[in-house]
Structure 1
Amino acid sequence: MTRRFEGLIGRAVMTAFSLAVIVPFAGIVLAALHPPGAIVDGLGWPAHPSFDSFTRAWSDAGFGQLLRNSAVVALGVVPLSLVCAALAGYAFALMEFRGRKILFGFLLLGLALPYEAAVVPLYYDLRVIGLTDTPLALVLALVGLFMPFGAFWMREQFLALPKEMSEAAAVDGAGTWAVLWKVLLPCCRPALTTLGLLYFLWAWNQFLLALILIQDPRGRTAPAGLGFFVGAHNIDVPLLSAATLIVIAPVVTVYLFFQRHFVAGMLSGAVKG
C-alpha cells in the first residue's frame, strides 16, 4: 500500500512539473499562430491561424544572420570546452602534482562567484587586444565561464572508473596521452555527450556576455537579437511569440536528437557517483 501511494505521489509530481512546462509552451505556440498585431486572449485556438507572424519576425529581426552567429559561437565553444574539461579533469583526478587540491578548490570558486561581476573588466581586457565585436571574444569568455563545471564533471567521471584500467594500459606501455584518449575517454562517452549538450544549451542561451562583448548589430547572437526585437515590438504578442519560437527551435531540436545520450550520461554519473 505504501509503495502504491508513493507511486501515485511520484506520478502526480511528475504530471505537475510536466504541465508547468507544457502549458506555457502551448500558450506561446498558440499566440504565434495569430496574425501580427492580433489580441491574444488565453490559450484559445486562433480563429484564422497563420504563419504570418513567423515570416514577419524572421524578416524584421534578421534571424537568418542571428542564428548563424549563434551557431558559430556554439560550435566554437563546445569542442574547445570539452577538450579543456577533459584535460583538466584528467589532471585533477589521476595526476600527482604539488598543490593539486588547492588549485582544484580555487577552480571551483568559479561555480560560486557570479560571472556578472567580471563582465566589465573582461570587456575592457578584450577591447585592449582588439577582440570585442568578434565571435572569438564570446567563445573565449564562455570557455572560461564553463571551465569550473566541466573540470569538476570530468574529474568525477575519471575517479569513478576503475584504476586498474589506466594501470593496465601503463603496464602495456601506453603513455599519459594514450591512456586518456584511448582508454578513459571512450569509457566516458555518455558523460562527454551530456556535457557537450549542456555546453551547447548554455552557449546558445547566453545573453549578457553576448550583449556586452558584441555590440555590432551584424555580430549579435540570436538571444541578444531577440532582446532588441522585444524592445521594438513589446506590445505585439504574436510577433514576440513567433520570434521566441524561432530562437529556441535549434535548442529544442538538438536536445530531442541527443535526449537518449543526455539521459544515459546523467544516469551513468549518478550510478557511478
Structure 2
Amino acid sequence: MTRATRFTTAIVLLAAVALTIVPLISIFFASVQEPGTPVTGLAWPETPHWENFATAWSVGGFAKLFLSSGIVVIGVVPLGLILATLGGYALSRYRFRGSSVVVAVLLLGLTLPLESIVLPLYYGLRAAGLLDSYWALILPLIGVFMPFGIFWMRSHFDSLPTELTEAAEMDGAGAFTVFVRILLPTAKPALATLALLYFMWAWNQFLLALVLIQDPSRRTAPAGLGQFVTQYGKDIPLLSASTIIVVIPVVIVYAIFQRQLVRGFLQGAVR
C-alpha cells in the first residue's frame, strides 16, 4: 500500500468517525444546557445542568419504557438466534427440494422495505388479537431479522470443512449430535456478533413499536421517545437528555462486546 493510499484511507476513516461522533457530542452538550433555552452551536455551558437527565427520566417514564424494551429484546434475541442457526445449518448442510425457493424468499426478505409490511402486519395482528402486546413486536421483529440471520449463519457453516461432519458421522454420530457437539461450538463468534446486532436492531426499532404497540404501559423506549418529542419538542435540552438516555444501553452493550463484534465481522470478511 502506497503512502498516498494510506493517507487517503486515514482521511476517509477520520471523516466517517467525525460524522458519527460529532452529532452525538452535540446532543450531549445540548442535554446539559439550561432547560427551556434555545441551543445554538456546539458549546459547553458554564454551569452544566445534570438534573436534565433525572427530569427526562421521570417525566418520560423511562423506567417502564426500558422494561418494555428489555422484554422485547429478551424475546427477540434468543428465539431469533435459535431459528437463524437452525435455518442456516439446514440450508448449508442439506440439499432438499425447494431449497432454492427458500433462498430466493430469504433474499426477497432482505430487500423488502419495512414500511411496505406495516399495514398487513397491523391488520393481521389485530385479527389474531395480538395488538398492544409484546408478541405484536417480538414476532414481526424475529421475522424481519430472520433473512439476515439465516444467511449469516449459513455463511459460517459453509466455511467449515465437510471433513468435520464426515468424520463424526463415520464414528456413528447423528445429525443432531454433529450439529450440537461439532458445528455449534465453532459458531460462537458468529453467534455473538448476530446476538449483538439483534439487540441493537430490536432496541432501536421505532416504526413497528409505534404502530403495533399503542398501549402506553407497553410502549418501548424509542416509541416513548417519539411521544416525548410531541410533548417537549420545544425544550431542546430536555429532549437531548432523553435521547442520550435511550442511546446509553446500546452504547454500553457495544462497548462491552465490541471485540466479539469485530471478530465476527473479520471472520466473515475472511470467508
Which residue number in structure 2 is paired with residue 118 of structure 1? 117
> Which position in structure 1 is the counterpart of 2:245?
246
Q: Which residue of 1 aligns with 2:100?
A: 101
> Which amino acid counterpart does residue 172 of structure 2 have in structure 1?
G
For the residue of structure 1 that corresponds to 2:2, the secondary structure is helix
Match of 2:130 in 1: 131
C-alpha separation between the residues in 2 aligned to 1:235 and 1:113?
35
2 CA distance for matches of 1:48 and 1:39? 15
Partner of 1:79 in structure 2? Answer: 78
The AA in structure 1 aligned to 2:48 is P
Q: Cα offset for 1:129?
A: 2.0
Query: Once the 2 structures are TM-superposed, how far is the Cα of residue 41 of structure 1 from its aligned partner?
Result: 2.2
Distance 2:21 2:120 in 1: 40
State the 1:136 CA deviation. 1.4
1:162-197 CA deviation, whole Å, 9 max, x = no partner? 111111111112111111121112111111111111
Q: Mapping of 1:122-201 within 5 angstroms? A: 122-201=121-200
Deviation readout 1:27-64 (Å, 9 max, x if unpaired):
11111111211222211110210212111111111001
The separation in 1 between residues aligned to 2:132 and 2:148, in whole angstroms, is 26
In the TM superposition, structure 1's runs of 4+ consecutive aligned residues that sit over 2 Å from their partners are: none
| Superposition map of 1:32-43 within 5 A | 32-43=31-42
CA displacement at 1:85 relative to structure 2: 0.3
In structure 1, distance between residues paired with 2:237 and 2:15 = 27
> For the residues of structure 2 that align with 1:6 and 1:68, how far apart are their CA atoms?
48
Instruction: Report the counterpart of residue 205 of structure 2 in structure 1.
Output: 206
Give, in angstroms, the shift of residue 89 of structure 1. Answer: 0.4
8 A contact 1:35–1:52 mirrored in 2: no
Query: Are the equivalent residues in 2 in contact too, given 1:65–1:218 (CA < 8 A)?
Result: yes
Q: Is the 8 A contact 1:35 1:51 kept in 2?
A: no
Say if 2:216 is the partner of 1:217: yes
Aligned-partner Cα distance in 1 for 2:107–2:168? 30
Equivalent-residue separation in structure 1 for 2:192 and 2:67 (angstroms): 23
Tell me, in whole angstroms, the C-alpha distance in 1 between the residues paired with 2:59 and 2:79: 33
Q: CA deviation at 1:114?
A: 1.4
Question: Offset of 1:131 from its aligned partner?
Answer: 1.2
8 Å CA contact retained: 1:36, 1:52: no
Structure 1 residues without counterparts, runs of 5 or longer = none
In structure 2, what residue type is equivalent to 1:210?
A: A
SS, match of residue 258 in structure 1: helix
Q: CA offset at residue 98 of structure 1?
A: 0.8
Corresponding residue number in structure 2 for 1:237: 236
TM-score scaled by length of structure 2: 0.97
Q: Partners in 1 of 2:147 and 2:207 — Cα distance?
A: 19
Whole-angstrom CA distance in 2 between matches of 1:113 and 1:270? 25
Residues 10-49 of structure 1 mapped to structure 2, 5 A cutoff: 10-49=9-48
Cα distance in structure 1, aligned partners of 2:75 and 2:102: 27
Deviations 1:188-224 (Å, cap 9, x if unpaired)?
A: 1111111111100100011111111111011000000
Partner of 2:257: 258
TM-score by length of 1: 0.97
CA contact (8 A) 1:32 1:242 kept: yes
The offset of 1:128, in angstroms, is: 1.9
Query: For the residues of structure 2 that align with 1:251 and 1:169, how far apart are their CA atoms?
Result: 40
Answer yes or no: is 1:89 the counterpart of 2:88: yes
Deviations 1:115-163 (A, max 9, x none): 2222112112212222111111211110011111111111111101111
* Number of residue pairs aligned between Structure 1 and Structure 2: 271
CA separation in 2, counterparts of 1:87 and 1:170? 19
Deviates more, 1:73-82 or 1:45-54: 45-54
Deviates more, 1:83-92 or 1:108-117: 108-117
Displacement of 1:87 in angstroms is: 0.6
CA distance in 2, matches of 1:11, 1:107: 36
Give the match for residue 269 of structure 1. Answer: 268
In structure 2, how many angstroms separate the alpha carbons of the residues matched to 1:151 and 1:44?
Answer: 46
CA distance in 2 between partners of 1:22 and 1:125 (Å): 40
